Amino acid sequence: MAFVPAPNIVECQILFTLDGQLVENRVNVDALTAVTPTIVADIANVVDNWCIENYLVYLPQEAKYRGVIATDLTVHEGAQYTLVPEGSPEGTISGGAMPNEVTLAIQLKSGSRGRSARGRAFVIALPRSMVDENTVDATHAGHLVAVFNQLKTNLTTEGWALVVVSYITDGAPRSGGPVYFPILSCSTADLIVDSMRSRKPGVGT
């Protein structure tokens, strides 16, 4: 797909290694103003702090955090900032991780209906101790939902917005360019594990 400009949007790739496989979460942030290199770096730092202070707390030790790549999507050659954390941050929960492809989907909900107006974030890894056969521990799932709501709050506090960027509607590119849907809340549909096949060693990146 050819590059489609998304003015004011900064995409953040949150990078991890899991069993030797590169895995990531991606989130889009509306700067609510024209993006500058400084804004790109500032957004990367907020996401990095969230990852270390909130996200890693509920991930298994096997999830190794590698940093954030933040990119201005306003133009094809937009500014990019790579943040590599000091040391080797990792998840805090011992006892092993579920296989790479086993995850939990966090729903990112806006105030609008339709698939284009909502997104999902697939948790990087699940601790074995928090999964009973095919069901994620309810308390742990609640913590993960709170973690993504915290990301939304942290970005809002800085004057930005966590958003879904919709490029396509009814199977065709949007004629006026992408539309942004601010995320109002995060949740889970159920406690059944989800799957990300691309995270299996040898399948994805």
pLDDT in tens, 139-190: 999 999 999 999 999 999 999 999 999 877 666 677 778 989 999 999 999 9
Instruction: Indicate whether 114 pLDDT > 80.
Output: no
Evaluate whether residue 138 is within a structural domain: yes
Q: How many domains does the chain have?
A: 1
Alpha carbon distances (Å) from 20 to 17, 28, 67, 88, 110: 6, 26, 16, 14, 35
Q: What is the pLDDT of residue 1?
A: 57
Evaluate whether residue 67 is within a structural domain: yes
Evaluate whether residue 60 is within a structural domain: yes
Q: 179 near 116, Cβ under 8 Å?
A: yes
Evaluate whether residue 4 is within a structural domain: no
Instruction: Indicate whether 91 pLDDT > 70.
Output: yes
Evaluate whether residue 35 is within a structural domain: yes
Evaluate whether residue 2 is within a structural domain: no
Evaluate whether residue 1 is within a structural domain: no
The DSSP line for 10-50 is EEEEEEEEETTEEEEEEEEEE-SS---HHHHHHHHHHHHHH
Alpha carbon distances (Å) from 90 to 15, 76, 133: 12, 33, 25
Evaluate whether residue 3 is within a structural domain: no
Q: Which domain holds residue 24?
A: 9-199
